[in-house]
Structure 1
Amino acid sequence: MARRSAPPHSGPAYYSAPTRKIADPNESAFSEFMREQIWAPEKLPGNVNIVAGLAVFFGGIFAMRTWGELMVPA
């Protein structure tokens, strides 16, 4: 069977050209991080999944510490 590959000199398929970013010289590093990593539309679904997982994890710890004695037979 013939091998299917990209045309010669096309470069690696996993590399994307760098995107042009709009830089505000008065923006702090923290606000740039929040804008590019937390509130970016392409990263928001993953961030929501992380927050939901942490909420379930810590909610389970809170529930077991609060009502854990109710699970032990008397």
Structure 2
Amino acid sequence: MSSQGSYLSAQKGFLSGPGGRPAEPKQNFLLRFINTQILAPEHRAGNISIAWGVSVFVAGIVAARNFGDLITPVF
């Protein structure tokens, strides 16, 4: 046996974070954005307002495409 030990005797914290606990996994930008801006309760009122505005806009486009002949004046 060598003075450095075998390859099976890793130092404490080699595969885990300090204190023996696994390190907290980092979230990517998209997950962090969704959790802090979209799903957060303090932003819910503004998100509902934005969703309502987008849905009214899309409904207006759908109505204009489907019933455009009724909207266009005929001279």
Q: Percent identity at matched positions?
A: 39
Residue 34 of structure 2 corresponds to 34
Q: TM-score, normalised by structure 1?
A: 0.59
Residue 20 of structure 2 corresponds to none
Runs of at least 4 residues off by over 6 Å:
none
Deviation digits for residues 7-39 of structure 1, max 9, x if unmatched? xxxxxxxxxxxxxxxxx5332221111000110
Tell me the matched-pair count.
Answer: 51
Higher helix proportion, which one?
A: 2
- Change in 2 beyond 3 A, CA 1:29/1:73: closer
The alignment's C-alpha RMSD in Å is 1.6
Residue 70 of structure 2 corresponds to 70
* Shift in Å, 1:73: 5.3
Q: What are structure 2's unaligned runs of at least 5 residues?
A: 1-23
1:49 counterpart SS class = helix
Residue 52 of structure 2 corresponds to 52
Distance 2:27 2:57 in 1: 34
Give 1:46's aligned amino acid.
G
Q: TM-score, normalised by structure 2?
A: 0.58
Larger radius of gyration: 2
Give 2:34's aligned amino acid.
M
